[in-house]
Copies of this chain bind each other. A is one copy, B any other.
Amino acid sequence: MGEGEVKLFRTWSSAYGLRITWALKLKGIQYENIDEDLSNKSPLLLMYNPIHKKIPVLLHNGKAIAESAVILEYIDETWKKNPILPQDPYERAMARFIAKFGDDKCTAALWRVFTTQGKEQEEAISTSMECLKTLEEWLKGKKYFNGDSFGYADIILGWIANLVRVVEEILEMKIIDKERFPLLFAWIEDLSNLPAIKDSWPPHDKLVSKYRAIHDSLIGGVE
């Protein structure tokens, strides 16, 4: 396919890394997956992302690209088949706007639900519900955030689909229920059944163990 040498530095569980995995699979790009241990980062990762020292990093023919949203745009511009972004400039702007809303507003709110208790958690739940209501509105009349086909906005928001069931299990709390958010609920179902995503979805129980440990260390294991 003339796609050159492609390597992806990520971790098995990072939702940011999974964005790139999904995009590469969607495009049908052959690549080498390199799993990083963030408690002992490889010299290569530090060399390829000296600014942030974070995954994911995409290495293409020796050139390193960091920041998952930037990498997604690069992948879509480099390999044209199976477009990730819509073709129309206004639709592209909407996809980027929705993605940015998810990253700027919803991530922080949902993370606070997971990492706080009491009044602070109640406030975080309220903010999260507002975020999810906005997302639910955007799904009206379409199957994916990106439009009729899965794409950029869905990939960026995919962490919700990936982690919300894990968070719900640990907190013993419904966050995205079928009655309140029927479109988001269906979107999560659709997403998790897409071949490109299904094949790389981390094992649920392993995620629950990982996030339970994080939760216990932050909340102190007492509730």
Contacts and interface: CB of A to CB of B under 8 A. Distances in A.
A51 interface: yes
B96 A66 contact: no
A214 B82 CA distance: 49
Q: Is the interface of A mostly helix, strand, loop or mixed?
A: helix
A71 B93 contact: yes
Interface string A59-75: 01001011101110110
Contacts of A63: 90
Contact of A66 (B66, B73, B77, B97): B97
Given A51-B134, A134-B51, A74 B101 contact: no
Interface residues of A, number: 22
A128 B60 CA distance: 31
A13 to B, nearest CB: 23
Contacts of A69: 96, 100
A73 B101 contact: no
A89 interface: yes
A165 interface: no
For A73, A77, A97, A101, which residue has the most chain B Cβ atoms within 10 angstroms? Answer: A97
A134 B67 CA distance: 16
9 contacts: A51-B134, A67-B100, A70-B93, A70-B96, A70-B100, A73-B92, A73-B93, A73-B96, A74-B93
